[in-house]
Amino acid sequence: MTGGLPVRARPPAGADAVRRHSVADEVAGRLRARILDGVLPDGGTLPKQDDLAVEFGVGRTTVRQAFRILETEGLITVRRGNAGGAVVHVPQPADAAHMFGMVMHARQVELADLAGALRQLEPVCAALCAARGDRATEVVPHLRDVHARMAAALDDGLAYLRENRAFHEALVARCGNATMQILLGAVEVLWARQEQAWAGAALADTGRAARETGVRVHGRLIDLIASGDEAEVYRMASRHIAGAQEYPLRDHGARPVRV
């Protein structure tokens, strides 16, 4: 049958469950590849179990096992009832951040360690933004949009923190290097989750003057990126990030990372 799995010799008695599991892994692998290759889009649905059973030449039990594998991996959500079906979820940086965070949590990694990774990697992304030949259209306008929202939020501390985080995330998202976008994107998401622990206290300790300084520094950084001065962008981003981390590291640096 076209698209079916290879025909196998009948296994020894008692090995049926093992064989079903192995075939279910193969079916899950085929479907996983379709999701990751973009054949099945985010928010779309998998074909019906009966149709997949026919396509792969397996029983419905095997297809259900394959669905459970994919559901455990977070690639699908199986809905029950009349509106049932398997909804596709294409992996996102937030998904990587959750797994990344669980590993760090299990190893009791401290916030200072996570902060150190950000200090090393985010300036690289900022410099990559400056190195892009298309930065005038693909980087600078997006950074200026976020910067404008930051400036408009000077009197709203929580909104300012949100836009400040969005600016740093935009530096990563617009750097042009997919590996850095995924890797540091996960770190940024994880850092933002830790930020919730001290956001309230930070607002109490800082006022409008400090926020005005942040807006001014970000504006200067955008100008440097627009000019293409990679070295100065890297230096300025390094100084800025180190300064921004002083408060959380002073009071929370030894705190273990949590998901």
**Whole-prediction pTM:** 0.79
Range of the domain at 84: 16-88
Q: What is the pLDDT of residues 105-153, one digit of tens each?
A: 999 999 999 999 999 999 999 999 999 999 999 999 999 999 999 999 9
Largest CA distance in the chain: 77
Structural domains in the chain (count) = 2
Residue 128 falls inside a structural domain:
yes
Same domain for 123 and 202?
A: yes
58 with 144, same domain: the answer is no
Where among 58, 88, 118 does a domain terminate? 88
Q: Within this chain, do residues 180 and 109 fall inside the same structural domain, yes or no? A: yes
**58 assigned to some structural domain:** yes
In 36-152, at which residue ranges do the beta strands (DSSP E only) sit?
76-79, 85-88
Token reading at 174: 């617009």
Element at 180 (helix H, strand E): helix 178-195
User: Does some domain include residue 125?
Assistant: yes
Whether 3 maps to a domain, the answer reads no
Per residue in 31-45, pLDDT tens? Answer: 999 999 999 999 999
Give the model's pLDDT for residue 59: 94
Distance CA 84, CA 80 (A): 4
Same structural domain for residues 57 and 98?
no
Q: Is residue 199 part of a domain?
A: yes
According to the model, what pLDDT value does residue 1 have? 44
Residues of the chain whose pLDDT is less than 70? Answer: 1-21, 82-83, 200-206
> Whose structure tokens read 């892994």?
25
147 and 106 co-located in one domain: yes
